Structure 1
């Protein structure tokens, strides 16, 4: 376990340093949480495409309910990150995150919740119920997150994630809330300076294993296998995301060359708009670059002609898509 955590911590540290070294980390802060929102929602069978999600982040015209729900996930993540360092992570933090994800605040559940096959009504797990029991368990969980310990932060995150999902304190939104709490725990432990590493894609790719190992802890106390799985998820996700950051950096360098040719100068503000908002509007360029609408339109059309942008009409709005960046983000 020690060897596994050392390797994962090393990969995580290299990713954190790489992300912080970017000239414009806002590119990652805008894009990667959206992809996490998409993946985390997909685990709960709330499915939206990358194009739908990035379009909805710019204009609500035609936004699907799934896209709106995924965007609330991103809002919940940022709200939680703003609290890191200001106050301890607790069950109250989780309740605020869940309320933002769901769009309303139901608080902690009062009755039982069904986890199993909805068709056959066969249960696979029965979480604890009763207000006193839930309160005691959540207090214990909050204390575990904040008590001094010799446990490696990755091990503590793995244990805390199991415990939160086992308590299952909300009628809905437990999985998504728990996955946001994971990255907040990494930030709180100062292993990450920006909330940019997410395990949802790893969980989707190993979904059967994820649920098998959760049940293994419940049924047999198989903690080591579960913790190894989570630690490996951190390691592999850090390596994958570091690679994505390198490719995003390459896209920015190539786009800068085209902007210099089309616009006649290395317009940093225009480059920032197109990287921070892979789906951009003319008004975004006007506001950021301080130019007239005809000038912004001329620039964007020139970049479409150069085939680094593609245009898409959504209602009365025309969006300009950073094609190479979106190819990297789609992975």
Structure 2
């Protein structure tokens, strides 16, 4: 099988009329979601669990098994079965890479260099960390089932010189204003996967770029528009639609699939964000009324940033003095704001869970 030759961007073969029904709706929903984001006083606090859930689901597409609860429990206690530890670190790295991308974009625009740095963070100390993290591949690779070779591979990405040329073209296209920004995003995501510039981690890197591109284009105020929930639930359609581009050269089904993903996911994101905002206001009153503490807001914010935690995590995250931590946590358990997830024994700490938030994120 010969290495694939990607089309140059912007695409000249697109039939824009095929997407009119979905373009308007997708743009409206994203704008509505962004309007809601602008009303969130501290998105870093309120939407932290959604970022972790995105990392869990994007990594799951690549075969990891760790759940949101397992990742949060590990962060609370740093204990997990050996077979899960690698999966958990992949999820944590995903979150780190996404945050690093956002932070670097505050100083300079999205670029191939910033993508290489994110990739290095993504692959740090996990599966694939021996595959040249942070560098574009220098050898030909291919995608196929275990035991297959380049002759019977499912897909052979571009050769190195073609890959480099396609990457520079792709980077240039990021900074172009195409006719519709969401169609442009669909093309950017697919073209990145087709170019397959790294030896490992291309799928996750491509999905990290979805919210970052919308942030780069100032379509959303914070890079928190995540699609992995939809892509994981429709994994075979996701791969089939991408494969159709390289099999037949037709982008229509892929772009329609992607715009539909944006519509469905935006609706879900809007619902979850509203529920989180409402929970925040409800629990603010519950904590103030039950604890009468001057630390009630610090306490509240800490629950949203880390909804599964030990008293040690809680003290560190909230900056509440140790002398007040035990009383506060006991009061919150008594008033059913928190549950005890694991009772402490010996040197092992008690692990607390803020279930109402976890239920929203998991739904």
TM-score normalized with structure 2 length: 0.84
1:259 aligns with one of 281, 287, 300: 287
Q: Does 1:318 align with 2:336?
A: no
For residues 76-98 of structure 1, what are the alpha-carbon distances to aligned partners after superposition, in whole Å with 9 as ceiling and x for unaligned? Answer: 00111112253332322222221
Q: Does 1:124 align with 2:137?
A: no
Q: Is the 8 A contact 1:113 1:127 kept in 2?
A: yes
Identify the residue that residue 96 of structure 1 maps to in structure 2.
117
Q: Is the 8 A contact 2:75 2:309 kept in 1?
A: no
| Residues 251 and 124 of structure 1: CA distance in aligned 2, closer, same or farther (over 3 Å) | same
Identify the residue that residue 20 of structure 2 maps to in structure 1.
2
Deviates more, 1:180-189 or 1:297-306: 297-306
Distance 1:15 1:306 in 2: 33
Deviates more, 1:138-147 or 1:40-49: 138-147
Q: Does 1:190 align with 2:222?
A: no
Q: CA deviation at 1:120?
A: 5.5
For residues 115-134 of structure 1, what are the alpha-carbon distances to aligned partners after superposition, in whole Å with 9 as ceiling and x for unaligned? Answer: 1111566521111123x222
Q: CA deviation at 1:287?
A: 5.2
Q: Does 1:226 align with 2:254?
A: yes
Q: Is the 8 A contact 2:185 2:210 kept in 1?
A: yes
Identify the residue that residue 297 of structure 1 maps to in structure 2.
326
1:245 aligns with one of 270, 273, 277: 273
For residues 265-308 of structure 1, what are the alpha-carbon distances to aligned partners after superposition, in whole Å with 9 as ceiling and x for unaligned? Answer: 58222212222221233345545666543431112112112222
Q: Is the 8 A contact 2:97 2:122 kept in 1?
A: yes
Q: Does 1:165 align with 2:186?
A: no
The secondary structure found in structure 1 opposite 2:351 is strand
Distance 2:318 2:206 in 1: 40
| Residues 65 and 10 of structure 1: CA distance in aligned 2, closer, same or farther (over 3 Å) | same
1:19 aligns with one of 18, 21, 37: 37
Distance 2:135 2:319 in 1: 45
Distance 2:119 2:307 in 1: 28
Deviates more, 1:308-317 or 1:158-167: 308-317
The secondary structure found in structure 2 opposite 1:64 is helix
Q: Does 1:327 align with 2:359?
A: yes
The secondary structure found in structure 1 opposite 2:154 is strand
| Residues 161 and 294 of structure 1: CA distance in aligned 2, closer, same or farther (over 3 Å) | same
Write the mapping of 1:77-116 to structure 2, written as runs, cut at 5 A: 77-84=98-105, 86-103=107-124, 105=133, 107-116=135-144
Q: CA deviation at 1:241?
A: 0.7
Q: CA deviation at 1:325?
A: 0.6
For residues 69-114 of structure 1, what are the alpha-carbon distances to aligned partners after superposition, in whole Å with 9 as ceiling and x for unaligned? Answer: 1100000001111122533323222222211110153511121223
Q: Is the 8 A contact 2:46 2:277 kept in 1?
A: no
Deviates more, 1:251-260 or 1:296-305: 251-260
The secondary structure found in structure 2 opposite 1:116 is coil
1:36 aligns with one of 54, 66, 78: 54
| Residues 85 and 287 of structure 1: CA distance in aligned 2, closer, same or farther (over 3 Å) | closer
Q: Does 1:141 align with 2:181?
A: no
The secondary structure found in structure 2 opposite 1:194 is coil
Deviates more, 1:233-242 or 1:97-106: 97-106
Identify unmatched segments of 5+ residues in structure 2: 1-18
Identify unmatched segments of 5+ residues in structure 1: none
The secondary structure found in structure 2 opposite 1:320 is strand
TM-score normalized with structure 1 length: 0.92
Q: CA deviation at 1:188?
A: 0.6
Distance 2:57 2:291 in 1: 37
